[in-house]
Structure formats: C-alpha cells, structure tokens
Structure 1
Amino acid sequence: MLNIRARTSNFPNSLYDSGLKKRRIVGLILIGIMLALFLAFNRVPKLDTVQADLAVATSPAAECFQGFCIEGPPEKSFFTRWWEFSLTYLQLVTVGMIFAFLVAGATEAFVFPKSADWRLTGTGIRGSLKGLLVGPAMNLCSACIVPVASAFRRRGSGIETTLSITQGSSTFNLPSLIMAAMVFAPLIGGSRIAVSLVGVLLIGPLVAKVVNRHDRLSFSLPYAPAAPDMAGWRETIEESFKEWAKITAGHVMRLAPVMVLAGFASGFAIQWLSPQTVTTWLGDDILGVVIAATIGIAINVPLLFEIPLVAVLLMAGMGTAPAAALLFTAAAAGPITFWGLSKVMPRSAIAAFAGSTWLLGIGGGLAALLFVSLGNGPDFGLRADYGTSTRFTPPVSVVASGNGTDWASSMRFTDVTLDSGITHTHTAPEPLLGKTEPTDMVGGAVAEDFDGDGWLDLFVLRGGEAPSVLYMNEGDGTFSEEAALRGADLPTRHGVAAAAADYDNDGDSDIVVSAQQAPHYLLVNDGSGKFSVDDTTLTEPKMFATSPSWGDVDNDGDLELALGEWNPETAKNYDAATKADNDIPAIANENPLIGSDDLSPLFVYANDGQGRLEPYEFRAAPGIDLWVFAPRFADLDDDGLTDLAVVSDYGMSRIYRNVGNGMFQLERSASPTFTDENGMGAAIGDYDNDGDLDWFVSSIFGQNNPDKGVLGGTGNRFYRNESEMRFADLSSEAGVRDGGWGWAASFGDLDNDGDLDLYHVNGWVQQAEEGNPDEFNNQPARLFENGGYFGFHEVAEQTGSADKGQGRGVILFDYDNDGDLDIFITNNHEYTSDSGEVVRSPAAPTLLRNDTPTSSHWLKVTLDGSPPLHSHGIGSRVYVTVNGLTQMRELNASTNFVTQGPGRIAHFGLGSADTVDEIRVEWVNGETSVLTNVPADQHISIPSQ
C-alpha cells in the first residue's frame, strides 16, 4: 500500500518532466481551444448558411447553390457567374483554411515535434481507426483537412491513418451525416452514411496495399517514454511557439495559392452544369452514375455544401443514383486534396486514393440504381417533409423568369362564350360629374353549385340598373339563364361584387352582393337553388362597397363577412393619395358598432349562428383603412386562425393578424414589405408547395410612363410567405410585375402539373390628366405559367387566353367537370375613340374552355362538416401527397376583387400520377382526416369525424 502511494504521488510530476511532455500539454490545450472557437463561431453558424442554401435550392421558385442557379436563359454571363461563385467559395473556406494551417502547425510543433519518438502510427484497419479518432472532430472539408493530415503524415503516421483523417473529416463528420439523413430520401442519405464509413475504414488500407503493404517511414520507432530532461517551461514554450509560427507560415506559402486557384477551377467546372446537361447526362443509369462520380472528384466544395449542391441538381432532374454518387465524391476528395497529399505520399498512393474514391462513389451510386430498378427507390430524392417541417427561411434569391417568348406552353383555351349560352352584356358606365369612376371598376360574378346537382353555376352582375343573371349549368357544356325563375334577378343599384358561401350553415350556398349604394343584398338559398332576398341586414358601408369575403374568424363554424369600401368622400379627410409611409393616424371608434363611425371603411359582420349578421369592431386597437378593394380571409401565419389580408388603393395594403376571439391586430412588422402603390385584386395560394400561403397583389404597370405620380407605375407585387408573418417581395424576380392596369387575379393549376399558375385581367381608360386614354385599353389579360424551378412565364397569347376586354373579374372553375380549370372573365365595357370622341359600349363576358392536350391527372376534394364545424369546411386545409410532393389548398369563400371562384372545392393537378398516396385534411377545430391510396381523376367528398 505504501509503495502504491509513493508511485501515485510521483505521477503528476511525470506529466511534465520533459520538454516534449510540456510541448504536448501546451499543444493539446491550444488545439482544444482553437477547435472549440472554430466550432462555436464558424461551424455552428455555418449550419444556418447551409440551411439557407437548402431552402433556396429546394424552392420551386429558385434553385441556387452559391451562385449556380438552375434557370432558363442565364441572367448573368458565364464569367460573371464563375467569378461570383469562386469568390463565394473562397469566402466560405477562408476561416477553415486558417484553422487548418494553425492546427497543422500546432500538431508538428507541439504534439509530434521532430524530436518525438512516439507517433500516431498503425497499419490496416487499426491505422484507419486511429485516424477516425482525429478526422471527424476537425469538421473540415477535403481540401481544408490537407494541412492537418499532412502534418500527421510528416510526423510518422501511416497512409491508412492519413487518409482516414482526410475522409473522416470531410465525409464522416456528424453534421454532414445528420443533414444527409434529414434532407434526402432514405436511399440517398443511407448510401452516403454507409459509403462514408467504408471509405474511412478501407480506402487507406487499400491504398497502402497498392503502394507498399508495410508502409512505414524510416524513422518510425517503437514507443519509448520521453526521458526526463527537466527543460524549463519558458524555454520550451518559446521554442515551440517559434516553430509553430514557422511551420504554419510554411503551410500557408505552400498550400494557400494553390487552394485559391483550385477554388476558381471548381467554380469553372460547376458553371458548365445546366438543366439540359443535368437531364441529359445525369439520369438514373450507369452512365449518369459514372459522370456524377467524376464530377465529384473533379471539384472541391466547402464542408457540407455538397448537400445543397446535390439538392439543386435533384430539383433540376438528376436521378437518384447519380445523386448518391455525387453526394459522397463531392465531399470525399478533389484536386486540392490530391495535390496537397502528393507532398507527403508517393504518386502511386495519390492515384490509388483518387481511383478508389471514384470507384467507391460509383459503387454507392450503382447500389442505389439497383434499388431504383427494382422499384424500391424514391420517386424524388429529397425527403417529402423537407422544407415544410424544417421551416428554413432563406434570404431572398433570384427567381428565373421570362416573358413567354422562349417558353413553350402546352396549355390551350377555346372561347365558348356564345356556344355555352352566355349571352348577356355588362352595362356601359355613365359619367358622373365628368368621371365614370367608380362605375367603370365593377363586374361582379360568382361560380357555385347553387342547386346541388354537382355542376357549377354562374351568378353575374350586369352593372347599372340592369338585373343580375343566374346561369344554371345544364351538364352538357351549356347554361340556361334562370335568374327571374329563381328569385335572383336583382336590380342591384349598380352592383359591384358577389360572393357565395353557406353563411347560415344549412348545407347550401347563399350569395352576398355589394352595391355602390347601401343596402347590400343577401340572397338566401332554400337548398334547391331558389333565393329569397334580404335587403335590410347589410347597411354598411353607405357608399361603394367593394369585395365581400366570408371567413370563420373565431372557428365556431359560422362565417363572418368582411366588406371593403372605396370611397373618396371618406378618404378626402386624409392626404392618402400622396402619403408615402403607409401609416394613417388611427381614429378611435367610440361606439363598438362600426356603422357609427364613417371613418372606418373596412367592415366586418359577426355571425350569431342563427342567420343574423351584426357589424362589430374587429380591430384590437383603433385604426382605419382607406380605399379598400379586396379584403381576403386566409391563415397566413399557420396558427389555425384566419387572418385578414387587405388589398387597398394608394399604398394602403396591409395584413391584420387574428389574435383570437374574432379580434385582429394590424401586423406592422410586415407592412414595410407591402410596397404595392395601387393594390386592386388579390390571389392567395401556395405557389411554391412549401406549405404556407403566398400573396399576389395586382396593380398598375406604367408602360409608357412608369412614374405616374400619385398613381405609381411599378406594377404587380408577389409576396412570398417566409413564415411567421414575414414576407419577401419577389415581384421583379418572379417576372409578374407587368400586368398592365391589373384587377382580379386567381391562382389555379391550369395545366394539372402540380403547381399553381396565375391568371389576372386588366384594362382601364385613363382620364386626360393621367395619361393616354388608350394606354391600357385593348391590353391582353395575363396568364403566368408556373414553370417550377424555371419561374413564371407569361403565356396568354400563345395559349389563346389573352382576352383584351376591359376585364374586372376572373373565375377559375371546372364548369364542364372534365378535371381541368376553365376561365370566366367579366368585362366592364368596350371603349373606342372615333375622331376624338369617346364611345363606351356594353361588353360581353368571356368563357374560355380549357382544351389543353394532356394526360395529366387531377383530383377535386370537398369537405362535409358536421356541427360545430362549418358545413363546407371553410378555413380547413387539404394536403395531397403524390410521389413525395405535397400540395396544399385552404378552402375559402373570399373574392379576388369583384369575383369569386368555388373556393370550397380544392382542385389539384397530379401530373402523371394516377394514384394519390395520401389526402390529409386539417379541420379548423384541430381534427385530422386521412385517406391513402386514392385513385385520381375524381371528385371526392370527405366527412368530418
């Protein structure tokens, strides 16, 4: 016992009884400190950078990786993209390289100095395992790890250990393994993990066997403890730090210039990739796997950035098997890796290392190809829930766009207005006090199945004192006009807009009509498509009520009603038309009933559940909204409560967040993003299939004079939802600014390819002081086709959908029940100028039948809610998953300006899929309904539980 104590008491002194031991203690502490700082201030923040790249790479709007974007015609020259990519690459690896140089110098100066007898040696798998202890902890890319691996090699480590450090750092670090499993389909992610482990353990022994089975340096000696020399701390540390500085500087001089050049070389190689080369050469075949593996070892990428690179190529059409090959080889090695290690290993070893890495990548790709060929592989390489579950919010990036001149659309439309039996015209506006406003803004209509026969009917306002018309669908492509027969022939006091919903929860769709003068109308459906008129309930606003919208603001199953007002008499008290800060001073409402305050031109009516509507102050804080055109209910922050998006003229657009109990708070944090100068119409939908609702606002694009003074002229706005009430203005990038003088707009999958296209109407006759009256007359409506990663393209002319009337409203609906969406347009009037004399004539509407030649499949979903849910499930969401892609529709009863489509019907384009993997319904009360393996090409109704 005494002897043991004596030995134990001497043990601490033996830790630093020699200069070598003192060096190692100091070196290990230094390396530990540097590693901790490096991980905390570089590697952990880098995960956010990679996540941002992934969010951009996997968005249908823009697929970019560090300056490499999948797009149609490149917006920048080859050399500009190459230069920008290379600079970005160098910025990303600079810190890692500095860390690597410092650690390599510390390893040689402190841990394994030339005087040391013991080194990290070992052969075969044992040598690889020793390298595995070091490599993954470094978290450096295959280029950045070279100085560290070289330092170990120069101090006696075998080829096995050196290559294991290299491979372990770049391919087997924990962050890359987690992200590969999280982002990619199991086949690709699992392949990366398995191949990386094989590479760490076996490449080194295989290379060593090729070169020399017993590869040992001549000075490799058995381990012998350092003999005590009683060297002083100061002397030892000073000498070690001098050596550290000298060795580090040597690494910098030898490797840094080559790494800079190699960064430009990698950027040059990547810029040759394009959608065409990807789909042509990187398909699911042996050649695609070989090419992908070759690309991987021909480039160097920063740590983890092989993940967004592969993601963007998958979005561009790369096959699953090539993706598996590239995901490994891009991380495992590259020109810098081979060149750097060539300084400490023979050429035969470098050749064997490059060849084995390449073959291992091909092996992983071929294994994935085997699974794919047997039908066990994924239909798409990214995980189905990636993006919606992780909720990455990237910075705004470039979206490829085009004007349609180089984009060939498959869509085709045929004008069948007269053949369908639609024969009415809209009354031409008459000047009042020298102006036709606001009667030249209207053109209301709504499409719904009013008699419950499964076919969509049309209720249309005609303007002026002309009675409304009700076209009942005959089921054979024609309509019969039955307004008088069914009690719907309103003399509408200059009717403005119409919206339909089951407001009394009795299972049928009722109609609300807004007018230029109160009262407004409720047409109550008796269930058979016959109506009784209520013209006493809706008394606000007094003048020019605009778009009505229905929504369940408190999730009690009863629908509330929002009505906007565009009233110059109300707005004249404010300098609204020229106020740039979009912040109108609040006017307190002393009476909780909105109608008591004329300065509140946005009205919400509460539904008591008994068929009675009463106005109430919906704002949680006093406020005012002016020049309101299109209020719309939609859950924009994904909290299960419907919010209120308000499109208004003269820069007044804004969002009210639902804060519970039917109360709304103005979302001021989002307001600076909303830059539309003349908001007219609105479309809300998940255009990028990321699980949240995006917002399009139509406005004025000044073609001849972009600066229209108070009117503005910078065009439409496209607000992408970034989650949590944060929006990115992608108007220019999306290519949808130029819509002329825009009005109503709607999202819909017009070609059934799985993403939402955008259609909006336009037209205006300016007053003389505004500009040329003909500037916006006879302008074609806009059809912006969603090209996925190619962005939006304007294709109205080539598809036969370029209606040139004075369009005000548009409805996308499947009137002939053939599974594709048709287009109904309301036109306000026709304008001609003969010898300087202005002539305004009645205008006919337009019905465009969708005749797109396609084999794409479709699905329509409606909901059957039982109390306390709404009968049609308004506000609920329907998710449809096909081949790993999930689309979402939120059922609504809101107008897009003066018109409303059948928002209670969720229409989905399915592309080539003839079966839906899953339909998931999220009801507003939190319940969920799920159906699986549902055949396509049908209309399915899902009841609540």
Structure 2
Amino acid sequence: MNRHLAVVPLAAMLLVAGNAAAQFTDVTTAPLNETFSGLGGGWVDYDSDGDLDLFRTDYSSSSLNRLYRNDNGSFSDRSDADIRWGAVTSKAGAGWADWDGDGDLDVVVSSSGSARLFRLDTPDNYNSVLDLGVSGGRAVCWSDLDVDGDLDLFLAGTGGSAVWTNDGDGTFTQLTFNVRAQGAQLGDYDRDGDPDLLICYDGDGTRLYRNDGPDQWAEIQPELINTNPAAALGSRFVDLDNDGDLDIATASYNNSLPNSIFRNDGAAGFVDVTDESGDFASVTSQTECLAFADWDLDGDLDAYLANNSGDAETTGILLRNDGDLHFTDITTQLPPRTGSLQYFATPGDYDLDGDPDLFVAGWGSPGQLLRNDQQTGNHWLHVTLRGAVETSGIGSWIEVTSGALTQTRYVSGGESWATQSPSPFHLFGLGTATTANVTVHWPSGETTTRTNVPVDRRIEMYEPGAETVTTDPFSPGTTFEFTLDPGVATVQDAVL
C-alpha cells in the first residue's frame, strides 16, 4: 500500500511537468526584434499575396512606421520602400480597409497631431489623400455606420473623437463625436444590422453606445459596464461563449481592479460574469491589450493579456478558455518574454500551418514573434472573405458549424487600443471534427453557404457579385472554386 501511494504523486508530478513545457517557440529574428517607441500595430496582408505581413506604429516624431513583408515565413523591412508617411508624427494606431472598393487595402494612421488617410494608388505607392484631424488619436475603426454600402470611419482621440461618413465619391463628411477615447471597436452587439460602438479611456472607463444613426448614439447600461472608470484601455467585443452574439471583455489598467467580462444575454442586456471567469479576473498587472484566438484549436476563443507591468514574468499572460466563460492561466506554455512593458499583442497564422501564432511588443521593448507549436491533433479551417464592395467583408458574420458546435465571428475593422485584426483571414479551431458547414452573412443582406467542407485547409467565401480572385492558387491546402468551360465541365472544391 505504501508503494502504491508513492506512485500517485510521482505520476501527478510528471503530468504537471508535461503541461508546463513551452508550446510556443520564440522565432524572433531581425528585423522583428527592433526596439523603439511602439504603441500599436497588427497583421495585415498589405500586398495581397495570401499571407500576413506585420505593421507597427512608431510614436517617435522622427522615425518611420514599420512594415515587415512576409515571404514564406521570413520577414523583410519594407518601411521605406512601401510606405511614405508624409507629415504624420507621433504615430499611435492604424486601420487598414478597402474603403474605395478598388481591391487593395488603404490605411489610416492616427497620431498625437492629426490622423491621415493614405490610399494605395499603385504597387508600393501610398499617397496621402485626407487630413482627418482628431488630436491625440489612438484607435482606428472601419465599418458601414450608416448602412449605405460603403465603409465609414470612427477615430478615437484623447481630445475628442470623430465619425467620418464615406460619401461614395472619394470624399468623407465629418461628424463630431465629443467623447474622449483611446480604445474603440465597432460591432453589432444587438444584431440589428448596424455596428455599435465600444470605447474606453484611461480615466473615463468603458462605454457602450448603440448605433441609432451615424450621428445618434445611445449609451447602454453605463451603471454596469462602466464600473471601472479609473482605468480602461483595451476593451473588446468578442463571442466568448459561442452563443452567436458579442460579449464584452474589458482590460483594467488599474493594479487593484480586475479585468472584466460582461455576457451578452440578448434582450435581457449584459450580465457581469467577472467573478466566474477564473484567471481572467485574477490578473491585476495593468493590462493594455486583450487578444483572443483559439490557441489549442478546440473550438473556443482563448486569450492573451498584454500587460504594462514592468515585470517580465507578468508582462504577458496566456489563458485557456475552459468553457462557460472560465479561463485558466497557461503562461508556462510561453517562452521567456523579452520585455516588461507590452502595449499590444496580435494573433495571426503567419506561417499558414493552421494554428494562431502571436506577435507582442511594447514601448522600448523588442518585438517578439511566438510560433504556436502545440500538437493537439485538433483540426482547423481558415476562411478568407471576398466582398463585392468592401473586399475584406468588414461587418460580416461568419458561422462555422462542426458537429454540435457553432462558432460565430463578427468581422471587425479594428480591435481597440491601436490594434488591427488580420482581416480578411479568419481561423477556426474544429476539435476532432472532420467536416464543417460555413455560412457568411454579409452586411448587404446576402448569405453565402458551403456545406461539408473538409478540415485542415484554407477556403475563400465570395459575396454574390464579388470578383473571383485567388491570391495564390498553388499554396498547399488552398481550396477555391473555378469553371473550366461553361456548359462543358465545372470543378468545385479543388484542393492543391
């Protein structure tokens, strides 16, 4: 009996040791390891070649923003060759979108002075086309605010924010929005067809506004959501419980107050479930940015908290979603972080192997690329949207059903505190499922559906009327549709 009792603790120790092994690998090389005064950035396929490039803003008034082009997993600095920023100084946030519907991504860069819109006119040539004002600019958010079929713009600013409506002829009309904001995100929390607004500010807290028109915003449940007015920066819309609507996660910049989760219960409003969220709420390390991705491909969104803690051990926290909005700290799966002041974190499958990797960086800290090397055996599906007018599908809902599980993602044109989502790429973990059904609800009201899609591949979903374009048809795992000869033969779902 004594020998048997001695074996149980040993087995437990081996299990703990196995779980503690790092499952993310630091693969940072030059130029990604630069150290500068960076505030924001994110993944973006700026050259439309089918993989994720990396963009970072530099708050220094004398330096360029950084643009790193991804070529088969290796990065080269294209900051000077591809991006000419003109008079923009003290850059903070950026938002990429095809606002003019010409098939390529343009960009707005916010700054302490004035935000500017840059249009891609020819390859490697961005021209400044509009001074957008908004001093103390931070978050940049694109969406169709007035539901007229084109992309409008919300700019968050510490001196006051602004809405710019797209007139459809290459011009914008400014509508003043006298609310200070640093972080902001647009998302249709009530699923009524127009994007609502979530903003946060270090000093004013987090606020939710319902869209009743591009110049009519009604604040919703301030007594619940704005419970931490002293400090909030990186609040987010995200469906954490897979029930098909957008919950709210808020980042606390106050060491004495937790991060929070508010569950969306539809007509009943939002409910504070922070106390049931496990280690998500236990982190009190000045969280700057919340990032969500399905690290283990089990079908729910996990989290990463970028913290301005001053301590390398707590500067980045990795969390596993256990279901029911409960999170467990799995930071031991990360390699040592190289900085102690993280300002943003952006997940994205940069190496196109079917799992989300992570890039993190901060003020005066070197960038760090963490490759996801988990071997869970779970399956995945990579969905690319091709819209008819706005080519990235901003404002769309993607539903992926595998077995009894349906996952829902809202395509947002900006992800709060100076970060950009990897639009138009969307990665879904499918667990042990072998096929999936995919439905896209486009902002136009159109719906596209594909059924029995095999797993572990990349597919493209087209809005009716969209131009059929395949960025790299010869990449392994790419799935696309094409016609050989009308009336003779049609081949669908070809896999290379």
TM-score, normalised by the number of residues in structure 2: 0.84
- Name the SS of the counterpart of 1:828 in structure 2: strand
Change (3 A) 1:507 1:515: same
Change (3 A) 1:910 1:537: same
* Alpha-carbon separation, structure 2, partners of 1:687 and 1:915: 22
* Alpha-carbon separation, structure 2, partners of 1:471 and 1:494: 19
Is structure 2 residue 415 aligned with structure 1 residue 872? no
**Aligned residue in 2 for 1:665:** 217
**Aligned residue in 2 for 1:603:** 162
Deviation at 1:463, TM superposition (A): 2.3
Report which stretch shifted further, 555-564 or 806-815. Answer: 555-564
**Aligned residue in 2 for 1:920:** 439
- Name the SS of the counterpart of 1:655 in structure 2: strand
1:366-423 per-residue CA deviation (whole Å, 9 max, x = no partner) reads xxxxxxxxxxxxxxxxxxxxxxxxxxxxxxxxxxxxxxx99947871111111x6424
CA RMSD of superposed structures (Å): 2.3
Deviation at 1:740, TM superposition (A): 0.5
Q: Is the 8 A contact 1:446 1:900 kept in 2?
A: yes
1:55-92 per-residue CA deviation (whole Å, 9 max, x = no partner) reads xxxxxxxxxxxxxxxxxxxxxxxxxxxxxxxxxxxxxx
**Aligned residue in 1 for 2:98:** 502
- Name the SS of the counterpart of 2:36 in structure 1: coil
- Name the SS of the counterpart of 1:926 in structure 2: coil
* Alpha-carbon separation, structure 2, partners of 1:551 and 1:616: 15
* Alpha-carbon separation, structure 2, partners of 1:778 and 1:859: 33
Change (3 A) 1:614 1:826: farther
1:568-625 per-residue CA deviation (whole Å, 9 max, x = no partner) reads xxxxxxxxxxxxxxxxxxxxxxxxxxxxxxxxx121111111232221146xxxxx42
User: Which of 326, 343, 352 is equivalent to 1:808?
Assistant: 343
- Name the SS of the counterpart of 2:275 in structure 1: helix
Q: Is the 8 A contact 1:425 1:462 kept in 2?
A: no
Q: Is the 8 A contact 1:761 1:807 kept in 2?
A: yes
- Name the SS of the counterpart of 1:699 in structure 2: coil
**Aligned residue in 1 for 2:46:** 450
**Aligned residue in 1 for 2:449:** 930
* Alpha-carbon separation, structure 2, partners of 1:681 and 1:515: 18
Change (3 A) 1:451 1:673: closer
- Name the SS of the counterpart of 2:39 in structure 1: coil
* Alpha-carbon separation, structure 1, partners of 2:419 and 2:225: 26
Larger helix proportion, structure 1 or 2?
A: 1
1:456-511 per-residue CA deviation (whole Å, 9 max, x = no partner) reads 11121222121112111111x21111121113456641111112111211111111
- Name the SS of the counterpart of 1:503 in structure 2: coil
User: Which of 219, 224, 227 is equivalent to 1:675?
Assistant: 227
Structure 2 stretches of 5 or more lacking a match? 1-15, 465-496
Q: Is the 8 A contact 2:379 2:433 kept in 1?
A: yes
* Alpha-carbon separation, structure 2, partners of 1:725 and 1:495: 40
Give the counterpart letter for 1:718 in structure 2. I
**Aligned residue in 1 for 2:383:** 861
**Aligned residue in 1 for 2:174:** 615
1:92-142 per-residue CA deviation (whole Å, 9 max, x = no partner) reads xxxxxxxxxxxxxxxxxxxxxxxxxxxxxxxxxxxxxxxxxxxxxxxxxxx
* Alpha-carbon separation, structure 2, partners of 1:657 and 1:458: 32
Change (3 A) 1:803 1:423: closer
User: Which of 157, 174, 183 is equivalent to 1:565?
Assistant: 157
Deviation at 1:741, TM superposition (A): 0.6
Give the counterpart letter for 1:788 in structure 2. G
**Aligned residue in 1 for 2:131:** 537
Deviation at 1:896, TM superposition (A): 2.7
* Alpha-carbon separation, structure 1, partners of 2:455 and 2:346: 24
* Alpha-carbon separation, structure 2, partners of 1:934 and 1:478: 30
**Aligned residue in 2 for 1:899:** 419
Give the counterpart letter for 2:112 in structure 1. Q
**Aligned residue in 1 for 2:286:** 741
Q: Is the 8 A contact 2:194 2:211 kept in 1?
A: yes
Change (3 A) 1:790 1:514: closer
Q: Is the 8 A contact 1:857 1:909 kept in 2?
A: yes
Is structure 2 residue 50 aligned with structure 1 residue 515? no
**Aligned residue in 2 for 1:280:** none
Is structure 2 residue 238 aligned with structure 1 residue 685? yes
* Alpha-carbon separation, structure 2, partners of 1:943 and 1:640: 20
Deviation at 1:785, TM superposition (A): 0.9
Larger strand proportion, structure 1 or 2?
A: 2
Deviation at 1:801, TM superposition (A): 6.9
* Alpha-carbon separation, structure 2, partners of 1:760 and 1:648: 18
Q: Is the 8 A contact 1:466 1:491 kept in 2?
A: no
Deviation at 1:802, TM superposition (A): 5.1
1:874-897 per-residue CA deviation (whole Å, 9 max, x = no partner) reads 111010000111000111111331
Deviation at 1:790, TM superposition (A): 8.2
Change (3 A) 1:466 1:607: same
**Aligned residue in 2 for 1:159:** none
* Alpha-carbon separation, structure 2, partners of 1:415 and 1:802: 9
Deviation at 1:732, TM superposition (A): 2.4
Is structure 2 residue 196 aligned with structure 1 residue 643? yes
**Aligned residue in 2 for 1:308:** none
Q: What aligned pairs does 1:384-783 form with structure 2 within 5 A after superposition?
A: 408=19, 412-418=23-29, 421-427=31-37, 443-464=39-60, 465-475=62-72, 477-488=73-84, 492-518=88-114, 520-526=115-121, 528-534=123-129, 536-539=130-133, 541=134, 543-567=135-159, 601-617=160-176, 624-626=178-180, 628-660=181-213, 662-677=214-229, 678-702=231-255, 713-724=256-267, 726-735=269-278, 736-737=280-281, 738-763=283-308, 779-783=314-318
Change (3 A) 1:693 1:801: farther
Give the counterpart letter for 1:681 in structure 2. G
- Name the SS of the counterpart of 2:183 in structure 1: strand
Q: Is the 8 A contact 1:656 1:664 kept in 2?
A: no
Give the counterpart letter for 2:361 in structure 1. T
Give the counterpart letter for 1:654 in structure 2. R
Deviation at 1:803, TM superposition (A): 5.7
**Aligned residue in 1 for 2:362:** 827
Q: Is the 8 A contact 2:97 2:105 kept in 1?
A: yes
Identity %: 33
Q: Is the 8 A contact 1:687 1:694 kept in 2?
A: yes
Give the counterpart letter for 1:549 in structure 2. C
Deviation at 1:725, TM superposition (A): 7.1
Q: Is the 8 A contact 1:468 1:490 kept in 2?
A: no
Give the counterpart letter for 1:884 in structure 2. A
Higher relative contact order (CA 8 A, sep 6+): 2
Deviation at 1:630, TM superposition (A): 0.9
Change (3 A) 1:554 1:489: closer
Change (3 A) 1:740 1:489: same
Change (3 A) 1:942 1:798: closer
Give the counterpart letter for 2:379 in structure 1. H
Q: Is the 8 A contact 1:684 1:694 kept in 2?
A: yes
- Name the SS of the counterpart of 1:444 in structure 2: strand
Give the counterpart letter for 1:468 in structure 2. N
Deviation at 1:848, TM superposition (A): 0.8
* Alpha-carbon separation, structure 1, partners of 2:316 and 2:179: 29
Q: Which has the larger radius of gyration?
A: 1
Q: Is the 8 A contact 2:238 2:247 kept in 1?
A: yes
Q: Is the 8 A contact 1:443 1:827 kept in 2?
A: yes
* Alpha-carbon separation, structure 1, partners of 2:342 and 2:250: 16
- Name the SS of the counterpart of 1:724 in structure 2: helix
* Alpha-carbon separation, structure 1, partners of 2:288 and 2:453: 38
Give the counterpart letter for 1:811 in structure 2. T
- Name the SS of the counterpart of 1:825 in structure 2: strand
Q: Is the 8 A contact 1:501 1:550 kept in 2?
A: yes
* Alpha-carbon separation, structure 2, partners of 1:801 and 1:919: 38
Deviation at 1:448, TM superposition (A): 0.9
Give the counterpart letter for 1:742 in structure 2. T
Change (3 A) 1:667 1:789: closer
* Alpha-carbon separation, structure 2, partners of 1:453 and 1:510: 15
